[in-house]
Amino acid sequence: MSAALRQYLLITANYWAFTLTDGALRMLVVLYFYQLGYSGFALASLFLFYEIFGIVTNLAGGYLGARLGLNRTMQIGMVLQVGALGMLALPEPQLSLLWVMAAQGLSGIAKDLNKMSAKSGVKILLPQQQQGRLYHYVALLTGSKNALKGVGFFLGGMLLSLLGFQHAVLAMAAALLLVMCLTQMGLTQELGKSNAKPKFSQLFANSRGINVLSAARLFLFGARDVWFVIALPVFMAAELDWSQRQIGAFMAVWIIGYGLIQGLAPKLTGRPSGARGPCLSWLAPLALSPLLIVWGLSQHWPVAETVVAGLLLFGALFAINSSLHSYLILALSREEGVSLDVGFYYMANASGRLLGTLLSGALYQLGGLTPCLLVSSLMLALTWLISLMLPRTLPGGQHA
């Protein structure tokens, strides 16, 4: 096994472990505080700092990655996640709204440092002569991450019912500490450290392709989270009367399937020689899928079956679009200072999640699931329009 492959596997294992706790923690927080009587908008506010600090972290994280190296920023993310889990281990009377928001903010910083480091590392570790396989490697990393996030959703629901909230977060903190120590001993190669110290002005992308792709990413992920993050689990609990385990299990299966399709995306989309064509082709059916759910509900189709079937269709199409985007950002990025471009791009990703999360809680509280689905379709239509400005070809004629 080559040194580069060993480093790739260690980074991937670290990323996987972090993803498990991230998915489990989100499900724990949503279900636990819903039990305590929090409204949809109050639940959304718990993730406000998570998304806001994610925006800042992605922008600054690319800079830190270029200055300190990606190994260090990845491990800093692990330390911060352990700290966030420790903050949430307090007894329930001490878990004020502001305290939980602060802990989630710390977790948001941790998550985006870890993700930026892992995804930037893929391009750096891949030999120049194998850059044509970049799409496959990115799809594998992203797909496996999301499959494990689905396992994390299931894990969160299960841990809440078996251990309770406080013991669950402590158990996850202990497991994460162990993984952090093991990967730290194995990581030897310093990745992503720029020879020239980047300036503050370089934090913002100066490539038109990256700017357009980032704007499209903002609305793409806003369209997912506007109904998936808060509205859907609350809808399942309040309207479908599903239990914690049922919700956790279903969300887990959905995310796992979503991750598997992401991993298969290169086979489904073929070899994109440009950015505009593939994005437009796969966005159009995705934008229609929330409208199909709304139409089915208006026709008085069985509610649970309609929402579940629509969610499965949405998830499959969204997975392909997301995988295409994850490849394109690396294909469009500079070789020197890749973390800066990736950080800027995922800043837009975090902005979309923030917008979607806030709208998810507010719209559901005002009108239920239907307004969330309509706004999701509108955001996807905006994504399609923005994608018209993507470049037709990729730098160097790259193919997947």
Q: What is the token pair recorded at 17?
A: 């472990």
Q: Which residue type occupies 121?
A: G
Residue ranges and CATH numbers for the domains of the chain are 3-191+205-395 (1.20.1250.20)
Longest CA–CA separation in the chain, Å: 62
63: left (phi over 0), alpha (psi -120 to 50) or beta: alpha
Angle 208-210-215 (CA atoms, 0-180°, nearest 5)? 95
CA distance 34 to 41: 11
Tens of each residue's pLDDT in the chain, 400 residues: 566 667 777 777 788 888 888 888 888 888 888 888 877 677 777 877 887 887 777 777 666 766 667 777 788 888 999 999 999 888 888 888 888 888 888 888 888 888 777 766 666 665 555 545 666 667 777 777 777 777 887 788 788 888 888 898 999 999 988 888 887 776 665 654 555 555 555 555 567 778 888 889 899 999 999 988 788 888 888 888 888 778 777 877 887 888 888 878 777 776 665 566 767 888 889 999 999 999 999 999 999 999 999 999 998 999 888 888 877 877 776 655 566 677 777 788 888 888 898 888 889 888 889 999 999 999 999 999 998 888 777 665 444 3
Nearest Cα neighbor of 211 from 328, 376, 335 is 328
CB atoms within 10 A of CB 296: 17
User: What stretches of 88-230 show up as alpha helix (H) in DSSP?
Assistant: 97-125, 134-163, 165-186, 208-228
Q: What is the token pair recorded at 280?
A: 């437009």
For the CA atoms of 114, 97, 354, 59, the dihedral, rounded to the nearest 10 degrees, stands at -40
Q: Which residue type occupies 273?
A: S
Q: Which residue type occupies 184?
A: Q
